[in-house]
Amino acid sequence: MTTTSGDRSMTPIERLFLSIPTLPSIPRVVQELITTLGDDDADLGALVSKVKQDQTLSARVLRLANSSHYGSRHKVGAIDDAVALIGLNALRTLVIASGVSGAFASIPGIDLKLFWRHAGQSALIARSIGRKARLNAEFAYTAALMHRIGQLLINAAYPSVAKEIAAENHDLDVTELASVERTHLQLDHSEVGAELARRWYFPAAIQNALRWYGDPMHEQAGPYAGVVHLSAQITLGLEHGEDDASIAAALPDPLLQKLVLDRPDMESEIETARDAQQSAAETA
């Protein structure tokens, strides 16, 4: 990729965001909810009332609440039902997830249905791993849901370059993919996703998870980066048709030790995730 004399003073991240035809935006109520993440004293009831007034957002939230992506086993017919079934904190996560996914109507070269299916599966696994690691499960869910969001922005900003990257992205792990992206763009999707999270005022822990999930043993990587790395790796293994034992054996020991998790924990997660995947396929 080449630059002109007018944009040489900008960083690659700045150039990318300026190159996106229409920057993704999220509803104001979603922005307000993002600022309450990690705030145990936030008045979520008032914000839920605002969600109920937004019919489009409410419909997306209920659709997600009833999908396999969130794992609800009960029919959720109204926002108040969702509050009763999953609680205010989990509902907040659902609203944010709905707002984030709804910010991208179409992206060149990306099947958004498949993209969000992968993200949703990763998020479910991350939420459960987060609980086992004694972390904020909703932070883990949100970070995993967004872990590849930088790819959407790369495709939106530079569709022709993204097509070249995709041609080289056959069975590459996240580290190898990042290397290909940096060769073409001097940045990678992890950096882009973290920058979008910063611009949308997500907590620093989620920004960190997006930035370092591909390199979770980096000295700057926080624990959520590790959770997202594990959830994404498990999801890819399931998508590639690998058996449970192979997926579990491939998970890195140093990362499990960092998160104080053991391999039997992960084997249980993989089995549960596979059951959920099969159940979703049967009801699709």
Mean pLDDT, range 45-74, rounded to an integer: 75
pTM value is 0.87
For 67-83, give one letter per residue: b (16+ CB within 10 A) or e: bbbbbbeeebeebeebb
- Pick the closest to residue 191 from 213, 171, 160 (CA basis): 213
pLDDT tens per residue across span 91-131: 788 888 888 999 998 998 899 999 999 999 999 999 999 99
Q: Are 215 and 175 in contact (CB under 8 A)?
A: yes
Q: Are 34 and 44 in contact (CB under 8 A)?
A: no
Q: How far apart are CA 280 and CA 122, in angstroms?
A: 14
- 282 has a pLDDT exceeding 70: no
- 6 has a pLDDT exceeding 50: no
Mean pLDDT score of the chain: 87
CA dihedral 215, 171, 161, 201 (to 10 degrees): -40
- 74 has a pLDDT exceeding 80: no
Q: 23 to each of 13, 60, 146, how far by Cα in Å?
A: 13, 21, 16
- 248 has a pLDDT exceeding 80: yes
**152 CB neighbour count, 10 Å cutoff:** 25
Q: Give how far the C-alpha of residue 217 lies from the chain's centroid of Cα atoms, to the nearest Å.
A: 19
pLDDT tens per residue across span 177-223: 899 999 999 999 999 999 999 999 999 999 999 999 999 999 999 99
- 13 has a pLDDT exceeding 70: yes
pLDDT number for residue 189: 96
Q: Are 234 and 269 in contact (CB under 8 A)?
A: yes
